[in-house]
Chains A and B, each alone.
Chain A
Amino acid sequence: MAAATHGAVQETAVRTNVLARALIYAGLILFAGYYLLPLYVMLVNSVKPLDEIRQGDMMSLPMLFTLEPWRSAWATAQIGVQPTGLRPYFINSILMVVPAVAISTLLGALNGYVLTKWRFRGDGIVFGLLLFACFIPFQIVLIPMARLLGLAGLAGSTPGLVLVHVVYGLGFTTLFFRNYYDAFPTELIRAAQIDGAGFFRIFWRILLPSSGPIIVVTVIWQFTNIWNDFLFGVSFSDVDSQPVTVALNNLVSSSTGVKEYNVHFAGAILAALPTLIVYVVSGRYFVRGLMAGAVKG
């Protein structure tokens, strides 16, 4: 990212005085508060006992610090009919995300390679059709997909969810790699051809070793999207294969018994943890990925 490279503007034109600068900082900090507040509230209240939440206000720090809600959310909370906590669903999500991300990324890389370096008549149409597939409302495919998974014997299973996420992620992964490989010098491919390397050899030896940045972007993008998915999870999974987002929703909106807000918050943070960690570790790439998804060429 071009952080702090825009200095030339401010040095001359935007010669803001002290008051204006104070206002700018105030505005920015105010918004930072707006974005941070819900996270703060969730964190603080996830370590309070339930009584304290009901009596106290949501902003205050816990008087009695407890990790019980976290333990409960992870291992013992009632989800559906079983008191299992989020743990099994968390594992379901991992079992779904890892293969789905790996397969869709690899296929996207190969597609991008073909679409930029082995062009053929009609490749533009192929790419256009793949691209439009990124944007369809998934509601339009829910009914037939449910039928297909049923016919294939994959209904309600983790492999079924992997399949669904791979096929509907292909458009984006192809887009990312196509845009990246488009800027990759074609002369290198030609040099490798003269050196006698074939289709796959060029891919493995020349292209992939230079694809680090775009692989990171694609993996992060796919990971967050698939981990956070709710619609496919709620439509195509059963109790044994439900991802954590569906389980969290069940936990939070179950109408039986007392509403254990502290457990809900702990659960929400647990469900968000993987994407948050990925984001904190490589947020810059994440932004770049979002941009690539939005501004295409």
Chain B
Amino acid sequence: MAFLEISDLYKRFGSVEVLKGINLAVEEGGFLVLVGPSGCGKSTLLNTIAGLESITSGEIRINGRVVNNLHPSQRDIAMVFQSYALYPNMTVAQNIAFGMEMRGVPKAEREKAVAEVAKTLQISHLLGRKPSQLSGGQRQRVAMGRALVRNPQVFLFDEPLSNLDAKLRVDMRTEIKRLHQSMKTTIVYVTHDQIEAMTLATQIAVLKDGVLQQFGTPHEIYNNPANIFVADFMGSPAMNLIPARIEANGGGVAVVMTRDGAEPLQLKVGSHSRLGAHAGREVIFGLRPEAITDLSGADRTSPGVVNAECHVEVVEPAGADTYVVTRLGGREVIGRMRSDMQVAPHSTVPFAFNMDKAVFFDPESEFRIA
């Protein structure tokens, strides 16, 4: 049985349904990331796990125990808040020790625990300060210290890095990952940043409008998105989603896309046997930018690479790579080429499409069809 289990969870505020039948399960020591655009219900879901908000129906189990009716302090959880929520009138040490104080832990024991946690997080020299005297990164560490010292069964993180600047965010991300690897405690982590989700998670749950869109490992979510929303939301730059048509082509199948001022582009699809059933139909053809390259940058081990000449609209050098924009099916399509490629705008150059990575969606239902 899973360590943290959420089944058929519904949450209503008056007539507004914020969570619509969420089912999730995380193994002990797992790192679950809840991701989605703002207003998707991810923070509400985290708050219901914490017990800060009640649920309308369903069940939440932690380590086999139903916690629906338990007060937050009795759920054996710890939480790190977006604003850090450090008590402004207390010192760092008092902040970290407050929970233990409430539970009546003797003073000597509290001090020992605080000192230990402070050492782990390298904030020992800050223990006597007030939160207002700390930098953003230091506050973040104190907030984590307050959670760590509880040694809970589950850690809850509510967008903990969103108030930090870009560089610090990357550092803290690594630090959180390292902490997780050494402690092996189950973590539920809310973010709207899909890169954070990819790097940290053992499992990702993508939410939209209170509905769970897909639940799986980062690899599954990235490579086998369940629908257009997930495909579009995860990955940066986003997956190219091109209106196209499936046509029978000799023994196999091909994707056909319109082009401005040129005949339609036909790309042969290799091994997608399921796609044959959709011949003659309109689909949305999805291909990530890294699967559209220059010829020598293409994945040589992949049998499905198809080459085609395309007109270049815009060239965006990005240091390590150069993003090249063309237009297919009336949409901008981004390809990722090596940075030393000399590509001029408005020229026509050969592109390599790795069709092994291609995914196809129904334009009506937006679900994945192949």
Contact = CB atoms under 8 A, between A and B. Distances in A.
B50 interface: yes
A194 B98 contact: no
Interface string A180-211: 00000101101111111100010001100110
Given A190-B79, A205-B87, A209-B89, 6 more contacts: A188-B85, A188-B88, A190-B85, A191-B79, A191-B81, A196-B73
Nearest to B152: A194
Contacts of A205: 87, 98
B89 A197 contact: no
B85 A185 contact: yes
Nearest to A207: B89
B102 A196 contact: yes
Interface in A128-160: none
B85 A191 contact: yes
B103 interface: yes
A185 B83 contact: yes
Interface string B42-66: 0000010010100000000000000
Given A206-B87, A209-B89, A194 B50 contact: yes
Interface in B181-240: none
Contacts of B73: 193-197
Given A190-B79, A194-B73, A194-B78, A201 B85 contact: no
Which 10 pairs, one residue from A and one from B, show the smallest C-beta to C-beta distance? A196-B73, A195-B99, A209-B89, A196-B102, A187-B85, A191-B85, A187-B81, A194-B72, A188-B85, A193-B72
Contacts of B99: 194-196
Contacts of B153: none
A291 B37 CA distance: 39
Interface centre among A190, A191, A192 (most CB of B within 10 A): A191
A81 to B, nearest CB: 54
B23 interface: no
Nearest to B98: A195
A210 B89 contact: yes
Interface centre among B47, B50, B87, B98 (most CB of A within 10 A): B87
B98 to A, nearest CB: 5
B77 interface: yes
A253 B247 CA distance: 105
Interface residues of A, number: 16
A68 to B, nearest CB: 52
Interface of A: 185, 187-188, 190-197, 201, 205-206, 209-210
A210 B86 CA distance: 12
Nearest to A211: B89
B91 interface: no
A234 to B, nearest CB: 43
Interface centre among A196, A205, A209 (most CB of B within 10 A): A196
Nearest to B53: A190
B82 interface: yes
Contacts of A197: 73, 98, 102
A192 to B, nearest CB: 7
Contacts of B82: 187
A192 B81 CA distance: 12
Contact of B52 (A190, A195, A196, A209): A190
A187 B83 contact: yes
Given A206-B87, A210-B88, A190 B81 contact: yes
B83 A196 contact: no
Contacts of A201: 102
Interface string B84-113: 011111000000001100110000000000
11 contacts: A187-B81, A190-B72, A190-B79, A191-B85, A192-B98, A193-B71, A195-B99, A196-B99, A197-B98, A209-B88, A210-B88
Contact of B79 (A194, A196, A210): A194
A192 B103 CA distance: 12
A194 B51 CA distance: 9
Contact of B103 (A185, A196, A210): A196
Contacts of B50: 190, 194
A229 B10 CA distance: 55
A206 B99 CA distance: 13
Contacts of B88: 188, 209-210
Nearest to A194: B72
Given A197-B102, A201-B102, A192 B87 contact: yes
A191 B79 CA distance: 7
Interface centre among A190, A192, A194, A195 (most CB of B within 10 A): A194
Nearest to A206: B87
Interface in B98-157: 98-99, 102-103, 146
